[in-house]
Structure 1
């Protein structure tokens, strides 16, 4: 029983859930949430539980691949049955829907699209070269957009969403390079399997270059000040280094990308605080 409970918690990937909820709250804050604490909290809860459900479904469909790449995950090691993982995901999706229904219509629409995308990602799109990566990139970028929509100002976070999405696309390509052996055995046709590892990494690098080019826009438009620019420059440097590192060590590089993404989000928070002050 203890291992089952532990396995259920592991299905959610709590760190990812908390991080995704925090990114949604960041989007709301950057959009000028002000006193809109309840919509911000509901949006963060929706995101956290939707990510938990998506992770559980991902593990269900990936159980054969994980048996090769990550045998310590709950389903391959027998802590949670495949049917149990689906039931857990259904409960978490229900919580996400309940938290989202009172939000503004645009936020509800984004949540609905994202829930469908989470369900279909592994079952339909993960093995499609580039498309699965693009879908995950959209989902990450949309956490900020969802936060902005929850407080009625999605336009304020468009650049943040684009930066997060493009950098996530790069990180997902690097992860696919890392997982080539298991994906090939499972019959998936990911981008590095289709076009080769090195070419896939260059495609990912191109996406990151666009993200870096976009990142100064809030400063250049006068929306955010020099504090934002200083922090986002560090984030850009971290992600550019990770891209370079991916050609030699994709496992280390894709982990480093998380730091760059969080630094980019922090840049927007710092920039917003300075503007409000």
Structure 2
């Protein structure tokens, strides 16, 4: 029983849920929470629960691939049955819908699109070269928009959403290179399978270069203070190095890229805070 509960928790990937919730909170903070603190909190909870649901259903559909790429995950190792994972995902999706019903119409619309995207990612888009990466990138970027929509302001988080989506695309390509053996075994036509590892990594590098080039834009638009430029420059450097590292060690690059993403989020927060002080 204890192993089952532990496996169910692992299915949700709590770290990813917290990270997604932080991005939504950041979007709300940048947009200006004002008197909408409760709505922002509900949006954060909705994001975390929806991501948990998406992770669980992803593991359900990926159970055969994970038996090759990630045999220690809950379903391949027998801690959670496929039916149990599906039931958990359904319950979490229902909870996310319940939370989203209390949010403004724009936030509710984003939530509806994202819930459909979470379900269709593994079943439709994951094995399509580039499209699966683009969908995940949209989902990550949209967490900023969701936070802004929850407090009634979409303009400020829009650039942040685009920057997050571009950098996430690169990270997803590196992840596909890391998972190449299992994806090829299962017949998934991810970008590295379709065009080769190095070409896929160069596509990811080009996307990241665009994100880095436009990363000063929030400062130039007056959304963030000068401290943003300092912190985002460090984040850019970490992500660029991770992209370079991906050509030789995609597993290490994946881990390093997450640090860069965290620093970029920190840059958004301190950049906005600098204007409020």
Q: TM-score, normalised by structure 2?
A: 0.99
CA distance in 2, matches of 1:177, 1:34: 43
Per-residue deviation at 1:35?
Answer: 3.0
Q: Give the equivalent residue in structure 1 for 2:118.
A: 118
Task: Give 1:103's aligned residue.
Answer: 103
Aligned to 1:39: 39
CA distances 1:24-76 after superposition (whole Å, capped 9, x unpaired): 01110011112321011100000000000000000000000000011111111
The equivalent residue for 1:85 is: 85
CA distance in 2 between partners of 1:137 and 1:189 (Å): 18
Aligned partners of 1:241 and 1:78: how far apart in 2?
37
Query: For structure 1, which segment, 256-265 or 61-70, has the greater mean C-alpha deviation from structure 2 after superposition?
Result: 256-265
User: How many residues end up aligned between the 2 structures?
Assistant: 277
Other-structure match for 2:6: 6
Unaligned runs of 5+ in 2: none
**CA-to-partner distance for each residue in 1:97-152, whole Å, 9 max, x for gaps?**
11111111110000000000000000111000000000000000001110011101
**Separation (CA, whole Å) in 2 of partners of 1:243 and 1:136:** 18
CA distance in structure 2 between the aligned counterparts of 1:206 and 1:194, rounded to whole angstroms: 18
Question: Aligned residue for 1:56?
Answer: 56
> What is the CA deviation profile of residues 214-248 of structure 1, one whole-angstrom value per residue up to 9, with x for unaligned ones?
11011112221210111111111111111111111
Give the deviation of 1:94 after TM superposition.
1.0
Deviation at 1:207, TM superposition (A): 0.6
CA-atom RMSD in angstroms: 0.7
Runs of 4+ in 1 over 4 A off after TM superposition: none
Range 253-262 or range 53-62, more displaced: 253-262
Task: Give yes or no for contact 1:159–1:214 (8 Å, CA) kept in 2.
Answer: no
Q: TM-score, with normalisation over the residues of structure 1?
A: 0.99
Q: Given the alignment of the two structures, is residue 201 of structure 1 paired with residue 217 of structure 2, yes or no?
A: no
Residues 117 and 135, structure 1, Cα contact 8 Å, conserved in 2: yes
Task: State the secondary structure of the residue aligned to 1:129.
Answer: coil
2: CA distance between counterparts of 1:34 and 1:267? 21
Q: Contact 1:170–1:207 (CA<8 Å) still a contact in 2?
A: yes
d(CA) in 1 for partners of 2:198, 2:10: 32
